[in-house]
Amino acid sequence: MKHVFFTFFVALLSLTLNAQICDPLCTPDESCVENFEGNGMICPVDLPVAMQNVYYDETVTVIPPKNFEGYSLIGAIRIDEVNNLPEGVTWCKSQDIFNVTTPLTRYCAQLKGTPTTPGNYQLSLKITPYLNFFGTLVEQSPVYDDTSLLIVVLPYIEPPVADFIGNPTTVQEGQQVSFEDLSSNEPTSWLWTFDGGNPPTSDLPNPTVTYATDGIYNVSLTVANEGGEHSVTKEGYITVTPLSAPPVANFVGNPTTVVVGGTVSFTDLSTNNPTSWEWIFDGGDPASSPDQNPTVTYNTAGIYTVKLTATNVDGSDTKTITNYITVVEDGSLTADFTVDKTIIEAGDTVNFTDQSIGAVTSWNWEFIGGNPFASTDQNPSVVYEIAGVYDVKLTVSDGTNTSEKIKSAYITVSEPLVADFVGNPTSVEIGGTVVFTDQSTGGVTSWNWQFPGGNPATSILPNPSVVYSTEGTYDVTLTVGNGANQDEEVKTGYITVIPSGIEGTEFDFVKIYPNPAHDNIVVEAQGLETVSIIDVLGKVVYTKTTNSDKEFINVSKLQKANYFIKVKTNSREIVKTISVK
């Protein structure tokens, strides 16, 4: 707030009064004070902006002046006219004569009505002063005062009509939907609400949202500009289905060599949660089974194939192992073996277990790619140092006869599992997106990401995209697996999220800083004419006309929120977003 001097010049022309007494009476602002004693004051200097065809109602507080050129002492004033009002706006006052008193008495006038024509209206007053002669008020000739009061009437702006589209509208758990604003009449702010989404809200015009849980969800959008706001809700708009993952069939039988009449226990090792199983056992009893882990009897010597089809709601998969089960006559010498694991990392150890049938007295193992390369132990342990796929051979003897078993491509050795990743970029503004890329080695088959502060907060994708909506510094964790082992990489303080708008940013011809602001905002521009601050609903909460190239704006009394700041110079105009914290 700044003071307004009443500067008076004697006028010979007398005009008809154009004011009435307010009904109901207006209420003056008791916080209005003089900056210089005796010169009077009109508060506020900066009147709120008006909108074409929108009702305007503002109160002005007046402290009458005690002194001005040509008069030694003023006892009272009477405001006769307020000139250059916008068409459609009238005024009234709290009483006919404003007396000069000690202590000060504050009076008020009201400006109200519906302005019809946009423009800048600099107000002037016609005032009749009264001198105080020994307690008697003596009317003097009217004078005119060119005040700094300005009413800015902005053109009427058509309110927006909210509309949007999402693509796709049916997704699986963990997938993203890209929303696009289709609202008409040029909205300047957006407020989205995403039931079941992450983030749950957004102020971006075209946000991307992740849905983690299956269900059917509503989406709402409220848009606003200086003309007003409009909302739309699309019910049941997003359908999220469970993550689609057909089974990957796998199984093991134990033992894989039996004598006639022996039994084999089969264990389902299928992944992705199958819900039904269909086994086929050549030569077995039963010949088929719907059980998850069946037991089968083999009554006839031979070598037999086993087949498993695993199914869930997303599909099915079949695994067939040819010549998997060997059935021998009682007393026969038959080589066979098993291991504790067939998929390992380089440097890991595999423990072999002999399952041969007969009166075995010696064992001769050959481990291509292993260390040792060969062994005569019954149950050896072997280290594999180099990635690859390797055969294993076992020859057994009972002193008279021998039997040989070769399992081709039996041991799979991968590079050591090492989790690693990069994010791009690692520093973003609020609402920015980081794209993460997996750089792990070791035959990775599964990923588990943790994104504190991010959206989504977790992911099982190899290369996810994450939105960060809150200022701060955040860790990122990636755990990878290859079916045999896991490894974890944690990058501490890896992602930095900064406020939208950078302090001191220069927008071509104007500087606005700091942003966010707490107490004051500085606007610098050559030829600066007006600065306005507008809330997200389109209401002008501050405006100032100036001929300075640098303005300091006190925003400490504004609510903590995002606003639009409109800066006009003698050659250009911009609208930017600012944040008051």
Predicted pLDDT of residue 69: 57
Assess whether pLDDT exceeds 50 at residue 29. yes
Q: Looking at 107, 135, 154, which one is the last position of a domain?
A: 154
Assess whether pLDDT exceeds 70 at residue 1. no
367 within a domain of the structure (yes/no): no
Residue 488 is classified by DSSP as E
**Token pair in block for residue 349:** 């150890």
Predicted pLDDT of residue 537: 63
Average pLDDT over residues 574-580: 79
100 to 59, 76, 107, 139, 456: CA distances (angstroms): 20, 5, 10, 14, 67
Residue 61 sits in the same domain as residue 138 = yes
Predicted pLDDT of residue 180: 95
**Token pair in block for residue 379:** 């149950």
**Token pair in block for residue 441:** 């080695």
User: 473 lies in which domain range?
Assistant: 421-498
Residue 512 sits in the same domain as residue 553 = yes
Residues 6+ apart with CB under 8 A from 187: 160, 162, 181, 205, 223, 224, 225
CATH code where residue 127 lies: 2.60.40.10
Residue 491 sits in the same domain as residue 525 = no
Q: Which residue pairs, CB below 8 angstroms and at least 24 apart, start in 277-286? A: 277/308, 277/309, 277/310, 277/311, 278/308, 278/309, 278/311, 279/306, 279/307, 279/308, 280/306, 280/307, 280/308, 281/306, 281/325, 282/306, 283/325, 283/327, 284/325
Q: Tens of pLDDT along 312-353?
A: 988 899 999 999 999 988 878 999 999 998 888 889 999 999
Residue 50 sits in the same domain as residue 150 = yes
If you search the block for the tokens 């089968």, which residue do you land on? 296
Residue pair 249/266 in contact by the 8 Å Cβ criterion: no
Residue 145 sits in the same domain as residue 32 = yes
268 to 20, 251, 338, 360, 398: CA distances (angstroms): 94, 5, 17, 31, 34
Q: Tens of pLDDT along 525-541?
A: 888 889 988 876 667 88
Give the Cα separation of 125 and 47 in Å (integer).
Answer: 16
Average pLDDT over residues 246-273: 91
Residue 69 sits in the same domain as residue 141 = yes
Where residue 356 falls among pLDDT bands split at 50, 70, 90?
Answer: very high
Percent of the chain with pLDDT over 70: 92
Residue type, 315: G
Peptide bond into 24 cis (omega under 30): yes
261 within a domain of the structure (yes/no): no
Closest CA to 129 of 117, 118, 141: 141
5 within a domain of the structure (yes/no): no
Residue 451 sits in the same domain as residue 564 = no
Average pLDDT over residues 105-125: 93
- Higher model confidence: residue 246 or residue 106? 106
Residue 210 sits in the same domain as residue 124 = no
Percent of the chain with pLDDT over 90: 47
Where residue 70 falls among pLDDT bands split at 50, 70, 90?
Answer: low
Predicted pLDDT of residue 221: 96
Average pLDDT over residues 166-187: 91
562 to 26, 415, 503: CA distances (angstroms): 32, 52, 15
Assess whether pLDDT exceeds 70 at residue 72. no
Q: Which residue pairs, CB below 8 angstroms and at least 24 apart, start in 361-366? A: 361/397, 361/398, 361/399, 362/396, 362/397, 362/399, 363/394, 363/395, 363/396, 364/394, 364/395, 364/396, 364/397, 365/392, 365/393, 365/394, 366/392, 366/393, 366/394
Residue 70 sits in the same domain as residue 44 = yes
- Run of H or E residues at 552: strand 550-554
Range in 185-189, 501-505, 551-555 the model is least confident about: 501-505
Residue 89 sits in the same domain as residue 171 = no
Average pLDDT over residues 355-365: 94
Assess whether pLDDT exceeds 80 at residue 233. yes
Assess whether pLDDT exceeds 60 at residue 217. yes
Range in 274-288, 316-330, 362-376 the model is least confident about: 316-330
SS3 letters across 406-457: EEEEEEEEECCCECCEEEECCEEECCEEEEEEECCECCCCEEEEECCCEECC
Range in 55-69, 430-444, 503-517, 541-555 the model is least confident about: 503-517
Predicted pLDDT of residue 572: 76
Residue type, 95: Q
Where residue 484 falls among pLDDT bands split at 50, 70, 90?
Answer: low
Where residue 382 falls among pLDDT bands split at 50, 70, 90?
Answer: very high
Residue 59 sits in the same domain as residue 147 = yes
Predicted pLDDT of residue 13: 30
Q: Tens of pLDDT along 441-468?
A: 888 888 889 998 888 888 888 999 998 8
Average pLDDT over residues 170-179: 88
253 within a domain of the structure (yes/no): no
Count how many domains the chain has: 4
Q: Is residue 102 classed exposed, middle or buried when 0-12, 13-18 and 19+ CB atoms within 10 A define those classes? A: exposed
Task: Quote the mean pLDDT of the chain.
Answer: 87
Predicted pLDDT of residue 113: 95
319 within a domain of the structure (yes/no): no
Assess whether pLDDT exceeds 60 at residue 546. yes
Residue 557 is classified by DSSP as T
Residue pair 500/579 in contact by the 8 Å Cβ criterion: yes
547 within a domain of the structure (yes/no): yes
Residues 6+ apart with CB under 8 A from 334: 257, 326, 328, 356, 357, 358, 403, 405
288 within a domain of the structure (yes/no): no
Predicted pLDDT of residue 519: 76
Predicted pLDDT of residue 18: 54
What is the reported pTM? 0.41
Give the Cα separation of 507 and 486 in Å (integer).
Answer: 49
Average pLDDT over residues 275-294: 97
CATH code where residue 530 lies: 2.60.40.3080
**Token pair in block for residue 537:** 């609903």
Closest CA to 535 of 560, 516, 554, 508: 560
Give the Cα separation of 403 and 66 in Å (integer).
Answer: 124
Q: Looking at 91, 125, 154, which one is the last position of a domain?
A: 154
Closest CA to 478 of 459, 455, 497: 459
Q: Tens of pLDDT along 493-523?
A: 888 787 664 443 444 568 888 888 877 788 8
179 within a domain of the structure (yes/no): yes
Give the Cα separation of 565 and 522 in Å (integer).
Answer: 11
Q: Looking at 446, 476, 498, which one is the last position of a domain?
A: 498
Residue 58 sits in the same domain as residue 30 = yes
Predicted pLDDT of residue 310: 95
Predicted pLDDT of residue 14: 32
Most confident of 172-186, 379-393, 459-473, 554-568: 379-393
Predicted pLDDT of residue 301: 92
Peptide bond into 372 cis (omega under 30): yes
